[in-house]
Amino acid sequence: MALALEPLNDAFVAEARGIDLSRPIDAATAAAVEAAMDRHAVLVFRGQPLDEDQQLAFTRWFGPLDLGLKKVFRAPNRLRHEESIDISNVGLDGKVLARDSKKMFSNLANQLWHSDSSFQLPPAKYSLLSAQVVPPHGGDTEFADMRAAYDALPDDMKRRIDGLVSEHWALHSRILLGDADYTEEEKAIIPPVEWPLVRRHPGSGRRSLFIGVHARRILGMSLPEGRMLLLDLLEHATQPAFVYRHRWRVGDLVMWDNRCVLHRGRHFDPAVRRELRRSTTEDVAWAQGNAA
Ligand SMILES: [Fe+2]
């Protein structure tokens, strides 16, 4: 069967059907998925309960696999593959973690609007999140369309931010939440990176805001002025008009484009089990300077 798409909202999210992700796909199918991602930016595949190998095999079609913050948090992995990122509240013993465990802090940081791995070079291109166990209440994931958000900015704001560059840092979101107990060595593992506030999304040709909680300052501005501007932009960009909220079902696989979408998890009872598994690709084209 061929890929079939049904828009879930006006702009940037579609349900994708017609492909069995548990089986190997071919280059033509991968190209069709990539074209759909350029058109929409978030694809929802329902009823695809993938194991780790199946998820990673599908993800690899879209670029080298990213490890992100795993380079800093060298904790033992509950999952079999290093490239599988454990978005769960479960420990190595299979039990739900204590609410003051370090991994729980990561889960909380995931509830701030961000673009995966925007703090590193290369940043992330696509992330894929597979739902294994979902809580009965809460724990949704929201996505915000940064192309539509840019288009809707007033002209004077577009002029104001044109050419500005922000600095993203891996631990900024953690420190913002008060999880600041890092050694100098850990802080230095992923050095800060600089990104234009406005980038052109290569697949669609549209301009897009590149912001989120990893952005900690704007070059050439005082910290307060830069942070206030980042907060203003984030508030604008995450208005309901630009946001899709995904209510997870077991077996969902949701795929999004970090180059033009922000996302955040939503609150759930930390005592209730939630298990999702993420795989992410690197944006090699941007890292090589091919996207402008
Ligand atoms: Fe994330």
Distance, in Å, from the CA atom of 233 to the CA atom of 226, rounded to the nearest integer, reads 11
Q: What is the pLDDT of residue 286?
A: 77
> pLDDT per position in the chain (292 positions), as tens?
699 999 997 679 999 999 999 999 999 999 999 999 999 999 999 999 999 999 999 999 999 999 877 666 667 889 999 999 999 999 999 999 999 998 898 899 999 999 999 999 999 999 999 999 999 999 999 999 999 999 999 999 999 999 999 999 999 999 999 999 899 998 998 899 999 999 999 999 999 999 999 999 999 999 999 999 999 999 999 999 999 999 999 999 999 999 999 999 999 999 999 999 999 999 998 767 644 4
Q: Report how far ligand 1's centroid is from the alpha carbon of 155 (Å).
A: 30
Cα of 65 from ligand 1 centre, angstroms: 15
- Pairing assessment for the beta strands 141-145 and 124-133 based on DSSP bridges: unpaired
- Cα(7) to centroid of ligand 1, in Å? 23
Q: How much is the pLDDT for 290?
A: 46
Q: In this predicted structure, what is the pLDDT of residue 90? A: 95
Q: How many CB atoms lie within 10 A of CB 180?
A: 10
How far away, in angstroms, is 228 Cα from ligand 1 center? 23
- C-alpha 269 to ligand 1 mean position (Å): 19
**Centre of ligand 1 from the C-alpha of residue 156, in Å:** 31
Annotate the chain with DSSP letters as a single string: ---EEEESSSSSEEEEES--TTS---HHHHHHHHHHHHHHSEEEE-S----HHHHHHHHGGGSSBP-GGGGT--PPPSSSSTTSEEEESB-TTSSBPPTTSHHHHHHHHTTS-B-TTTTSSS-EEEEEEEEEE--SS---EEEEEHHHHHHTS-HHHHHHHTT-EEEE-TTHHHHHTT-----HHHHHHS--EEEESEEE-TTT--EEE--STTEEEETTS-HHHHHHHHHHHHHHHTSGGGEEEE---TT-EEEEETTTEEEEE----TTS--EEEEEEEE-HHHHTT---
CA of 1 to the centre of ligand 1 (A): 31
How many angstroms is it from 114 CA to the middle of ligand 1?
A: 6
Ligand 1 centroid vs 205 CA: distance in angstroms?
24
In the reported structure, the alpha carbon of residue 264 is separated from the centroid of ligand 1 by a whole-number distance in angstroms of: 6
Q: How far is the CA of 237 from the centre of ligand 1 (A)?
A: 17
Ligand 1 centre to CA of 112 (Å) is 9
Q: What is the pLDDT of residue 193?
A: 96
- Written as six digits, the tokens of 104 are 């729980």
How far does the centroid of ligand 1 lie from the alpha carbon of residue 122, in Å? 16
Among residues 288, 289, 12, the alpha carbon closest in space to that of 150 is found at: 12
pLDDT attached to residue 69: 72
Predicted confidence at residue 292, as pLDDT, reads 42
SS (H, E, C) 119-181: CCCCCEEEEEEEEEECCCCCCCEEEEEHHHHHHCCCHHHHHHHCCCEEEECCCHHHHHCCCCC
115 CA distance to ligand 1 middle (Å)? 6
